[in-house]
Amino acid sequence: MVPDFRVLCVSTYDRTRSPLIAALLRAEVARRELRLDVATAGIVATGGRVTYEVSVHLQSRDIDVQAHRAQLLLESHVRESGLVLTTDPEHVTNIVSRWPEAYPKTFTMCELVALAGRVGGRLGDALSAWTPLLHAGRPPIERYPTTASGVDHLRLVEPPSGDRDAWTQLFDTADELCQRLVKALD
């Protein structure tokens, strides 16, 4: 099966949030039999494995991520992706500062799901027709919200090790966002 497009999930190190989101997206995409490819990369990745907490959580859902190795974000990853999903607003600004043409297709996961809720799902339209609708009304990148401007609603926060409640919250939020996103992409 040839995918219709690629979704690139980006976090800082590509060891926690991006592999978590990618694994959950892949599972939901497979369940719905969609033709999407899902990849990951990290802003400063250095090749490590998925964190223990993510690995254990995904194993409990019969999702194996042991083969995952963090990879550094490259221009080719961004160029070859129809959507770039980040876990933090600072990742959006980092990507767009390097590749300005990527802004219309680069969103935080939380932002994209919220915008899809307002604009509506793709409904079989080409991704190239849907992303401009999502992007319309966003501020210029110079005014894009950053972590310093109180945008926790746009972030998927990586909890400190050992904080079970915070990890459970991350897993539940990521799962809900992935389900809502795949429904919008269907």
What's the pLDDT tens digit per position in 144-155? 877 555 555 677
Contact 102, 95 (CB under 8 A): yes
Residue 123 has what pLDDT?
80
* Cα gap 152→110, rounded to integer Å: 10
In which order are the strands placed within the sheet that holds 83-86? 36-42, 5-11, 83-86, 106-108
User: Can you give the residue ranges of every domain in the chain?
Assistant: 5-185
**What's the predicted TM-score (pTM) here?**
0.92
Contact 91, 11 (CB under 8 A): yes
CATH architecture of 5-185: 3-Layer(aba) Sandwich (3.40)
Q: What is the mean pLDDT of residues 106-111?
A: 94
Q: Which residue has the higher pLDDT, 1 or 96?
A: 96
* Cα gap 177→113, rounded to integer Å: 7
Which tens digit of pLDDT belongs to each residue from 56-106? 999 999 999 999 999 999 999 999 999 999 999 999 999 999 999 999 999
